[in-house]
Copies of this chain bind each other. A is one copy, B any other.
């Protein structure tokens, strides 16, 4: 990570530590302070700042708007964790586990309101900014619903899967970049190109997540390699394998998916062997790189001197090259 990037994250975390969400009743606001304190890469607000800096030099003037995106993101995590019945978030108990579901619903609701609050001092056209934010927010909800729908389906097409991860993950990265550009008063074309850059990088980013689950170096990964395989999660790798398998491979995969008692290590090893046999790793890498390339093409189209784009490119490369 470059020093410049560390400085941007520092700006975000400093302002975040000063934010007050509300006090009374404490049961409503304490879970917000809790989830916001769990850390994370602050990826999205950093994207707001980096996009803004393509056009203007005072990112400290838009920190609240950048944080709107981080508060929104954490609202979605708080509600998604209820729906997914997730016990842990960043190694700590989730809000619905530490308190209860009602508190997680209601604190999440007020977080969404606070996200709008943080947008209000935007120096430029507030209506355009909230219109774009609303489209993004509705998209993220649609993505989560598609993801839940997919759990009950036997198979999902590649196009449907890409559409789901675009909505669930990528549109918020696209919006973050677009917001930075809008706040800087950039023209509409530049805003849209930055949005496209973010959406494509975001899809690539999620495909990388799917890939790392199977092919990460366990020493560096931090989580259990193969967790998605054990949980039968419909990742790009599994969907692609189901789509392209011959009868024997398909029945092997389906046996592992339907097995109720199994040795986890063996399941991971055997499903990975089928993936290897079919070249799923390379297929996923190709698809991922296709999206990363589309992303960089969109960035390339923005008429800003190349030197200015360097921090954004570095950050994207940092995300692309991560091994955890």
Interface residues of A (CB under 8 A from B): 22, 24-25, 27-28, 79, 82-83, 101-103, 105-106, 108-110, 112-114, 116-117, 120, 126-127, 130-131, 134, 137-138, 141-142, 144-146, 148-149
Contact = CB atoms under 8 A, between A and B. Distances in A.
Contact of A25 (B25, B79, B112, B146): B146
A197 to B, nearest CB: 24
Contact of A83 (B22, B25, B106, B145): B106
B79 A22 contact: no
Contacts of A27: 145, 148-149
Nearest to A27: B145
Nearest to A144: B106
13 contacts: A25-B149, A27-B145, A27-B149, A83-B101, A83-B105, A106-B141, A109-B112, A113-B138, A116-B130, A117-B134, A120-B130, A126-B127, A126-B130
A141 B113 contact: yes
Nearest to A163: B24
Contacts of A22: 138, 142
Contact of A102 (B24, B103, B138, B148): B148
Interface centre among A83, A103, A142, A149, by most chain B C-beta atoms within 10 angstroms, is A142
Contact of A105 (B79, B130, B142): B79
Contact of A145 (B106, B116, B130): B106
A106 B79 contact: yes
Given A79-B105, A105-B79, A134-B113, A28 B120 contact: no
B120 A137 contact: no
Contacts of A127: 120, 126
A176 to B, nearest CB: 17
B126 A24 contact: no
A146 to B, nearest CB: 6
A311 B126 CA distance: 34
Given A120-B130, A149-B27, A141 B109 contact: yes
Task: Give 4 nearest A-B pairs by CB, closest first.
Answer: A83-B102, A28-B145, A110-B141, A113-B137
Contacts of A146: 25
A32 to B, nearest CB: 11
A28 B142 contact: yes
Contacts of A148: 27, 102, 106
A282 B24 CA distance: 32
A16 B149 CA distance: 28
Contacts of A130: 116, 120, 126, 130
Contacts of A108: 109
